[in-house]
Amino acid sequence: MIKCVVEKVGSKYIYVKLDNRCYQKQFFHHNEKDDFLMIRKDYGDRELLFLTKEAAFRYIERRRIFDGLQYTFYYSSDYDRFTLEQLREVQKILNT
């Protein structure tokens, strides 16, 4: 996590300057339901900009939980680990 300073707000992009760097980075709102902005670039890892540290921590926690669930259900070859009733309950929770 890196602190940055918003230098300019345009109609499409927010321009930020990171701590000691002399150049700006441009971020834009990629999806209305997201609580972050995404960096404008066509390659490499995506960088995200959050308004608060708490929003960043919520995003990180959400990703860790999702990745854990994905690992549990996708990569686990132990299909007998869960009963049908347990799987139905999980499905019910996730579909609401």
Domain borders along the chain are: 1-51, 52-96
Report residue 44 as tokens: 């490499």
Q: Are 74 and 60 in contact (CB under 8 A)?
A: no
Residue 6: per-residue pLDDT: 80
Query: pTM (2 decimals)?
Result: 0.67
Question: Using one digit for the tens of pLDDT, what is the confidence trace for 35-91?
Answer: 777 777 767 677 888 888 898 999 999 999 999 888 887 877 677 788 899 889 988
**Coil, strand, or helix at residue 92?**
helix
96 pLDDT more than 70: no
